Chains A and B, each alone.
Chain A
Amino acid sequence: MKGIVFNLLEEVVVQHHGEDVWDSLLDAAGLNGNYTSLGGYPDEDMGKLVAVAATALNISAIDVQRWFGRQAMPLLVARYPTFFAPHQTTRTFVVSVNNIIHPEVRKVYPGADVPTFDFALLDDGGLLMGYHSPRRLCALAEGFVEGAADHFHETAEAEHLECMHRGDPKCLVKIAFRQAA
C-alpha cells in the first residue's frame, strides 16, 4: 500500500485526536510510522492501525475505515482540486474514478495497486458500485463516497447488497444521493 494512504490516515487522526493519539496508535500497532507518500508499505500495517484505532475509539474496524475515508476527502480536495472542479454532483465525480483519478494516481505513484470499480447509473439518480479487492476495503470506499457527498453538499446513503465481508465474492453497494439539508 502506498505511503500516501498512511499519510492521510495520520493527518485525519492528528486533526481529530491530536499527535499523541497517532503516536499511541503506532506504539500499540508496533510500527515506527516512517511513511513517505511515495513509498510502498505492507498492507498489514494498515490492517493493524485500523484494528488498534477500532479498539482505542471503541468502534468497529469497518466504521474506522468509513470514518477515515469520509474525513480524508477534504484533505484530498485541498491536495487535488482539479479532480473535483469539473463536477457538480457526487455521482459524476465518483464515476470518474476509474478513467480519470486512478490513471492519474498511477502516474504519480508507480506501481500503485488501485482497484477498478464497476459502476451502473440508476434511473433514480443513484449508483450501483461493484468492488472487488483482496484488501477488502469496501468501507473505505464507502467513506470516500460519503466524504465526496459532503463536498458536493449532498448525502450518500450506501447499502451493501453483497459484501466480501459476508462471504460474497465481491461487494455490490447501492448508493442513494440526496441534496444536503
Chain B
Amino acid sequence: MDHPESPPHNDPSAEASGAEMQRLRRRLERERASRLEAEAIAERGLRDLYEKQRQLELLEAVAVAANQAASIRDVLQFAVTRFCTFTGWPMGHAYVVKNAKEGRHLQSAAIWHNALNASTEDFRRETEEMKFVPGIGLPGRVLQDGGPAWIINVADDANFIRQTAAKTAGIASAFAFPIMAGDEVVAVVEFYSLVRSQPDETLLWLMAQIGTQLGRVVERERAKDQLVHDASHDVLTGLPNRSLFLDRLTRAIAQKRRHPEINFAVLFIDLDRFKVVNDSLGHLAGDLLIAEVAARFMASLRQTDVVSRPNATPPAASEGALPEGSDTLARLGGDEFTILLDDLHSLSDAVRVAERVLATLAKPFLLQGQDVYVGASIGIASSVTPYVSADEVMRDADLAMYRAKALGKGRYEVFDQTMHTMAVKRLALESDLRRALQNNEFVLHYQPIVTLRDEAITGVEALVRWQRPNHGLVYPGDFIDVAEDTGIILFLGMWVLREACRTMHRWHQEFPRERPLTISVNISARQFAQPDLVTQIRQIIEETGIQPSSLRLELTESVTMANAERAIKILESLRDLGIRISIDDFGTGYSSLSYLHRLPLDVLKIDRSFVTQMDDANEGLQIVNTIMHLAQNLDMEVIAEGVETEAHVKKLRSLGCANGQGYFFSRPVPAGEIHKLLRDQRR
C-alpha cells in the first residue's frame, strides 16, 4: 500500500497516534479476514444447499414420473432427458433388457437425449445395432453387476467396444446405471460427456435411488399384466380359461367367414373317472392330476402342431402357452378341457389330434406314490357346420363328448345332427331319473347263483330295474351312466343295498337253511369313493338285520384301481364287518396279478365274455382255465357268469369251476319268483 505521509519520529504524540493507527489497521485487517471467511463459509453452505435442493427436485420429479408414467418407454425417456439436464452431460441413451433364447442381453430402445450432431451419427447407429450381453461393454457391465458404472475416459477402457465411433463423436467420459425391478435389471440408461469427468459420489448415489424408483413402473406394469393374464387364465394349469377360449373361438368363427378355406375345430375333452379320483384321493391329488393332464395335452399339441401343419414353424419354447395364432388348449373348469384348432386342412387333422390326446393318458399318473389311470372322452365339432356363435360350437362339441362317454368312454366322437335328438332324450332321462327315486319306480330283480355240481341255488345277485312311466322296464345299461354322471347313483346304490339286504333277511327268516343264501350287490365307482362308505354299509346291516357273512359286495377291477391303498383299507374294513367281497367282470380290466394279490377278495366272477368264447375256440377255454388256476392259488371262490348252455356247464365243471350264474339256470326274476322257488324247494 502507498502511504504518502509518514509521521515525524520525534513527536511522541505523533508516535502514539502512529502506533494507534497500526493497531486499528490490524483490527481492520482482522475484521476484513473474518468477513471473507464468513462469506466463504456461507458460500459453501449455499452451494451445498443448492445441490441438495436440486437433488431433492430431481428425486421428486422421479417420484412423480414413477407414479405417472404409463410405460417403460415413458420412464426411459424421462430418465435420459432429466439426467442430462441434471448433470449437464450432453447426450444420453436407453437400453432395454431382452430375454432371448440365447440369453439375456441389452438392446437399444432407440430413446436418446440430444444426440448432438453429425459427428455422433456413427456412434448412434452403432449403439442401436448392438446387442450387449452381460459383462460386455459399459451397458453389459451394468447388466451384469446390477449397479452404476463410470468410465473417466472411454479411450482408456478396453471393454468400451464402440471406441472408434466414440472418438468421432468426441466422447470422453461415460456412465450408466440400471433401472431395477426388484433385484432384476430391466433397462439401462447411459450418458456421455465430451469432457473428462471424475466419478461423482453424489451422482452415483442418486443413480441407485433413481434406478429403483423408476423400476416401480415396470413392477406396476408387470403386476397389471399379471392381473390381465390371471383374469383370462386358469390358475392351476396356467392355460387360457373359458372366457379367453370363447374369445379365440369367436375370432376363429369370424375368420372362417372372411376366409372360408380356413377351417377350425373344437375338441371338448372330459376326463373319465376324474370324480372318482377326486373323491377318493382328495382335492389336492385331483389338482395335481389336472395339472399333469394339462401338461401332457400341451406336449401332445406341440407335436401335432408340426404334424398337422407341414408349413408351420416349430413353436417357440415359451412357457404355458402355445405361440400366438396357433392352437389353443384351455381348461374350462373341473375336468373339462377344450382345444381350438384354428387352421385346419381337413377334419381328419382334428381326429388325429384327438387320438394323440387320448394316447397321452395311456400311461398312469403317479399320485401320492400310486399309479392312477384316467381316460378321457372327446367330442369334436368343426366348421363343417356353419356356426355363427361360439356357444353353438361349444354346445355341439359338448354333445359329441357325451356321446363318446355313452359309447364307452376313452374315445372321441365327431358331432352330427342326430346328437341333438339324443341330447334331448338324455335330458329327459336325467330329469325322469331324478323323480324315479321319490316315486319308488325302481325295483330289484334277482338272478340265482347255483352250484354247477347239482344246480342247487346258493345265492342271488340283486339287479336294479327301472319301471319308467310310459317306457316299461328299463335296464341299468340304459341309465346307469347318467346316474353316475349326475350323482344319482349314490342314492340309488344305497337304496339297492338296503332293499336287497331287507329282502334277503326276510327270506332267511322264512326259509332257514344250513348255509344261508348269499345276496350279491354291485357297488359303483362313485359309491366306492364315498368317504363314509363303510359307515353307510354298517348302518344298513344293522338296520336290516342281515347276516353280514351272507352279503357279497361286487366291485369291478377299475373301481379299486383309482387308489389301491385306499381300496385295500376299505375292503379290509368291510371284511371286518363280516362282509364278503366279489371281483366282478374279472378279466376285462387291466389289473396286474401282483395288484390283485394284495386285495382282500373272496370271490372271483369270470366275465360272461370268456364263458361265451369257450364255444368257438380252444383259446376261450384256456383263458377260463388260467383264471381258475389263478383263483385256486389265491384261494378264491369262483363263479362263472353268463352260463347259457348245457355245454357251458359241462366245460366249466370239467375245469373245476364250482359255481355258475346265467340264463341256463334262470334269468333275473322278481322277488316273488325267488320266494316261490324257495318255498317249492322246502316242500
- Which A residue sits closest to B28, measured CB to CB? A19
CB <8 Å contact, A38 and B42: yes
Q: Which of A76-131 contact B (CB under 8 A)?
A: 86, 99-100, 103, 106-110
Minimum C-beta distance from A24 to chain B (A): 14
| Secondary structure call for the B interface | helix
Q: Is A55 an interface residue (CB 8 A)?
A: no
Q: Is A179 an interface residue (CB 8 A)?
A: no
CB <8 Å contact, A38 and B195: no
CB <8 Å contact, A109 and B1: no
**A114 and B2 alpha carbons, distance in the complex (Å):** 35
Choose among B35, B39, B51, B195 the residue that contacts A107 (Cβ–Cβ < 8 A): B51
CB <8 Å contact, A18 and B2: yes
Residues of B within 8 A of A (CB-CB), count: 12
Q: Give the chain B neighbours of A37 by CB distance below 8 A.
A: 39, 43
Minimum C-beta distance from A9 to chain B (A): 15
**A107 and B47 alpha carbons, distance in the complex (Å):** 5
How many A-B pairs have beta carbons closer than 8 Å: the answer is 28
Choose among B2, B46, B88 the residue that contacts A108 (Cβ–Cβ < 8 A): B46
Q: Give the chain A neighbours of B42 by CB distance below 8 A.
A: 38
**A19 and B46 alpha carbons, distance in the complex (Å):** 30
Q: Give the chain B neighbours of A60 by CB distance below 8 A.
A: none
Minimum C-beta distance from B134 to chain A (A): 35
**A103 and B87 alpha carbons, distance in the complex (Å):** 11
**A18 and B2 alpha carbons, distance in the complex (Å):** 7
Q: Give the chain A neighbours of B88 by CB distance below 8 A.
A: 99-100, 103
- Which B residue sits closest to A39, measured CB to CB? B39
Q: Which of A1-41 contact B (CB under 8 A)?
A: 18-19, 36-38
* A108 and B47 contact, Cβ closer than 8 Å, known pairs A38-B42, A86-B195, A103-B88: yes
Q: Give the chain A neighbours of B46 by CB distance below 8 A.
A: 38, 107-110
Q: Give the chain B neighbours of A103 by CB distance below 8 A.
A: 88
CB <8 Å contact, A19 and B39: no
Quick one: CB contact mask for B21-37 with A, threshold 8 Å, 1 for yes? 00000000000000100
* A38 and B43 contact, Cβ closer than 8 Å, known pairs A19-B1, A99-B88, A107-B51: yes
Minimum C-beta distance from A152 to chain B (A): 18
Quick one: CB contact mask for B535-573 with A, threshold 8 Å, 1 for yes? 000000000000000000000000000000000000000
- Which A residue sits closest to B46, measured CB to CB? A108
Q: Is B50 an interface residue (CB 8 A)?
A: yes
**A37 and B51 alpha carbons, distance in the complex (Å):** 20
Q: Give the chain B neighbours of A109 by CB distance below 8 A.
A: 43, 46
Minimum C-beta distance from A80 to chain B (A): 11
Q: Give the chain A neighbours of B47 by CB distance below 8 A.
A: 107-108
* A107 and B1 contact, Cβ closer than 8 Å, known pairs A36-B35, A38-B43, A86-B195: no
* A107 and B2 contact, Cβ closer than 8 Å, known pairs A36-B35, A36-B39, A37-B39: no
Minimum C-beta distance from A14 to chain B (A): 8
**A130 and B75 alpha carbons, distance in the complex (Å):** 37
Minimum C-beta distance from A34 to chain B (A): 10
Q: Which of B39-53 contact A (CB under 8 A)?
A: 39, 42-43, 46-47, 50-51
CB <8 Å contact, A18 and B35: no
**A138 and B42 alpha carbons, distance in the complex (Å):** 30
Choose among B2, B39, B50, B51 the residue that contacts A38 (Cβ–Cβ < 8 A): B39
**A107 and B48 alpha carbons, distance in the complex (Å):** 8
**A99 and B88 alpha carbons, distance in the complex (Å):** 8
Minimum C-beta distance from A43 to chain B (A): 21
* A18 and B43 contact, Cβ closer than 8 Å, known pairs A99-B88, A110-B50: no
**A85 and B47 alpha carbons, distance in the complex (Å):** 20
Minimum C-beta distance from A119 to chain B (A): 15
- Which A residue sits closest to B38, measured CB to CB? A36
Minimum C-beta distance from A143 to chain B (A): 23
**A56 and B504 alpha carbons, distance in the complex (Å):** 142
Q: Give the chain B neighbours of A18 by CB distance below 8 A.
A: 1-2
**A87 and B47 alpha carbons, distance in the complex (Å):** 23
- Which A residue sits closest to B49, measured CB to CB? A110
Q: Give the chain B neighbours of A99 by CB distance below 8 A.
A: 88
Minimum C-beta distance from B290 to chain A (A): 65
- Which B residue sits closest to A38, measured CB to CB? B42
**A100 and B193 alpha carbons, distance in the complex (Å):** 13
- Which A residue sits closest to B90, measured CB to CB? A99
**A100 and B46 alpha carbons, distance in the complex (Å):** 17
Q: Give the chain B neighbours of A107 by CB distance below 8 A.
A: 46-47, 50-51
Q: Give the chain A neighbours of B50 by CB distance below 8 A.
A: 106-108, 110
Minimum C-beta distance from B661 to chain A (A): 105
28 inter-chain pairs at a CB distance below 8 angstroms, sorted by A residue, are A18-B1, A18-B2, A19-B1, A36-B35, A36-B39, A37-B39, A37-B43, A38-B39, A38-B42, A38-B43, A38-B46, A86-B195, A99-B88, A100-B88, A103-B88, A106-B50, A107-B46, A107-B47, A107-B50, A107-B51, A108-B43, A108-B46, A108-B47, A108-B50, A109-B43, A109-B46, A110-B46, A110-B50
Nearest first, the 3 closest Cβ-Cβ pairs linking A and B are A107-B50, A37-B39, A108-B43
B interface residue numbers (CB < 8 A to A): 1-2, 35, 39, 42-43, 46-47, 50-51, 88, 195
Other than the known A38-B43, A107-B47, A109-B46, what 13 A-B pairs have Cβ atoms closer than 8 Å? Answer: A36-B35, A38-B39, A38-B42, A86-B195, A99-B88, A100-B88, A106-B50, A107-B50, A107-B51, A108-B43, A108-B47, A109-B43, A110-B50
